[in-house]
Amino acid sequence: MTDRPNDRSLEKYRRMLRIRHFEDKAEAIHAAGEIPGALHTYAGQEASGVGACIALRNDDYMVGTHRSHGHPIAKGAKLRPLMAELLGKVTGICKGKGGSMHLSDFSVGSLGETSIVGSGIPVAAGAALGSKLQGNDRVALCFFGDGATNEGAFHEGMNLAAVWKLPAIFVCENNGYAVSTPASAAVPVKDIAERAKAYAMPAIIVDGQDVDAVEAAVTEAVERARTGGGPTLVETKTYRYADHAVNMGRILLDRGAEVDEWRKRDPLTLYRARLLEAGVAAATLDAMEQEVADEVADALQFARDSAYPEQADAFDDVFVDRLPIPDYLTA
Amino acid sequence: MTKATYLEAIRQAQHEEMSRDPRVFIMGEDIICNVFGTTTGFVEAFGTERVRDTPISENGFIGAAAGASMVGMRPIVDATIASFLYPAMDQIMSIIAKSRYIYGGQARLPLVIRTCLFYGNSNAAQHSDRPYSMFMNVPGLKIMVPSNAYDMKGMLKAAIRDDDPVLCFEDSTCWTSKSDMPDDPDFMIPLGKGDIKREGTDISVIAVAGAVPLALKAAEVLAKEGISIEVVDPRSLVPLDKALILKSVRKTGRAITVDPAHQTCSAASEISALIVEQAFDALRGPVLRVATADTHLPFSPAIEKALYPTVDRIVTAARTLVGTARPVSA
Ligand SMILES: Cc1ncc(C[n+]2csc(CCOP(=O)(O)OP(=O)(O)O)c2C)c(N)n1
Ligand SMILES: [Mg+2]
């Protein structure tokens, strides 16, 4: 599939660049000890997230997973509050209370990435139900991994969306593994997409390294959802380059030459070649990459310059009203 | 003023709030056919979009309530019986309780999960749970346990208008009890405000849900013996009206906590600890708990009933407390 080098295709490339540079930077500063906790990176899967989100409107909803950095960026979130969140700063998008597994940006419809595997799926169905009840035409898209499709929450969410014909799009990012477990050892069907049959739901399998192909598939699903045709399951065949997570126990999984094989089909490299072929000047793309690198550097500087939350902030946002602060923290 | 039962109070509260606010809708299993009578006439009044029968899929539809609330709806989930919340623990504990917090206040989850405490009637262990104290152990969930029809109506209306998620536990032993109902369409009882159900001077009996009517009966018996009982109904467990409980205990100097839940880690335990920590100097004896023994609820009526708090057990605890100066075991 070819694309005209229009604003939209450049925007796709920009968002993929944002994710890649953001992840590279995050990994580097995590290694340097600047990011607490674990880090699940999205590098390798950019075309899946960006292709899907570019098919959405700004006011559509999106719910995601523990591998949380790529999705909000793909949905259009600003980088500063995301990077500040990784560093646990009060200027973070979640005020330093969510961290790496819970990036989000409600202002662009990113309703939160949730780190209990599968748990976002009923939530997305509910957001879609909200649209239906409000009589608007917003759709809700949910990302989840291959592993999540073995959770009850996946089946309950799919079933509910199907029987109620909700305007939902379920995007399974099949990166072949759940931590160390290959999908082939945990999923009895060849393609995750087959699982849609149980819910009489249309399904599409798509090359998750090709941002245009993902966009086309999700656009079809979005149109169906927006016009009352109900939900779709889209399976993007993709791959994560890094280990499952850094700093979450010892994950010794030797994937051999597989990583290099997938790098040959790197989503950014593929798309850059397509844009060049379509007549975009290399200088334009290089300039864009420099801008993105600057943007990420700026986000990191912002995060570094920001303050940490106050101890009292741990008691905010549990409920609408702030909880009282116990004596042992004020004495 | 007209009288209404506890179940009718639920129906009225829901009906009034659904009439007032188009964002409120209700879903659950078999609510159109309306098993317990809390949605009588709802489909006719509000249609099947806002009165939704769900698949038997508690984690799915309770999660969907979370998602719908995050985009501006105000769902009421009828989760029938409290034991059926367990398949939805994932969504209740990880999504509903925590989303506002982990997203730094970006998410709002104004939803109510209603469910009944279905104990005491030979429904056996899997249907007889009183699990509210489990939910007290995770921040982020408001928990109401009204003990009469008046409180139920006022609190449920407040819960539906509350911007935080609320779990509403409905004690089936109170279902047929009646109260006078105010006509005010904005009649509400805020969560976090307890109530002195009977004033007294010798012992504070802090009772939860269906234990409140038992405590009131025990107070009658004890009054004849010259023992004056103050019955404190916290009405909600989160927020807990600590000030009201402590004020009562400071006045009487003695406390018994009564709770239909299993004793270990019960609301009774938490309230007892609160009293011991914050009113120790006022106590004239140990704080006693009258709760359900830590065994499962059997089917046979011959051995089920005696396991719960009873009027007799409360009376005995009270006599023990006034009759001895030294700590005794319950
Ligand atoms: C309910 C639950 N079980 C286990 C985990 C631990 N865990 C975190 S990510 C993960 C693997 C998820 O695999 P998949 O859904 O394929 O997503 P991917 O990591 O590949 O993006 C597991 C088991 C969890 N977070 N939640
Ligand atoms: Mg996976």
Q: DSSP for A9-51, please give it.
A: HHHHHHHHHHHHHHHHHHHHHHHTT-S-S-B---TT-HHHHHH
Cα of B16 to nearest chain A Cα, Å: 19
Cα of A60 to nearest chain B Cα, Å: 10
Q: Say yes or no to pLDDT of A1 above 60.
A: no
- What pLDDT is attached to residue A146? 98
- What pLDDT is attached to residue A246? 83
Residue A119 to residue B63, Cβ atoms within 8 A: yes
* CATH architecture for segment(s) A7-312: 3-Layer(aba) Sandwich (3.40)
Averaged pLDDT of chain A: 96
Contact between residue B133 and residue B265 where contact means Cβ atoms under 8 Å apart: yes
Report chain A residues whose CB lies below 8 A from the CB of B107: 106, 111-112
Length of chain B equals 330
Three-state DSSP class for A125? Answer: helix
> What is residue A198's DSSP assignment?
G
Q: Which of A104, A99, A31, A84 is nearest to A308 (CA)?
A: A84
Which residue does chain B place closest to A104, by CA atoms? Answer: B103
Interval between CA A110 and ligand 2 midpoint (Å)? 21
Catalytic residue check, B127: yes
Q: Which of B161, B167, B174 is nearest to B77 (CA)?
A: B167
Domains in chain B with CATH codes: 2-181 (3.40.50.970), 195-321 (3.40.50.920)
- What pLDDT is attached to residue A2? 42
Burial of A165 (0-12, 13-18, 19+ CB in 10 A): middle
Residue to mutate (ligand 1; options A63, A66, A143; most atoms within 8 A of CB): A66
Which residue does chain A place closest to B238, by CA atoms? Answer: A319
Cα of A124 to nearest chain B Cα, Å: 6
Complex prediction ipTM: 0.94
Interval between CA A226 and ligand 2 midpoint (Å)? 28
A149 alpha carbon, closest ligand? 1
Residue B71 to residue A123, Cβ atoms within 8 A: no
- What pLDDT is attached to residue A6? 75
Q: Which pair of structure tokens corresponds to residue A279?
A: 């007549």
Which residue does chain B place closest to A62, by CA atoms? Answer: B67
Test mutation, B101, B108, B141, B274, chain A, max A CBs within 10 A: B101
List pLDDT tens digits, range A207-241.
Answer: 999 999 999 999 999 999 999 999 999 999 999 99
Test mutation, B29, B53, B59, chain A, max A CBs within 10 A: B59
Report residue A259's pLDDT band, with 50, 70 and 90 as the boundaries. Answer: very high
Mean pLDDT for A276-303 is 97
Residue whose token pair is 């909200």 = A130
Q: Name residues of chain B where pLDDT drops below 50.
A: 324-330
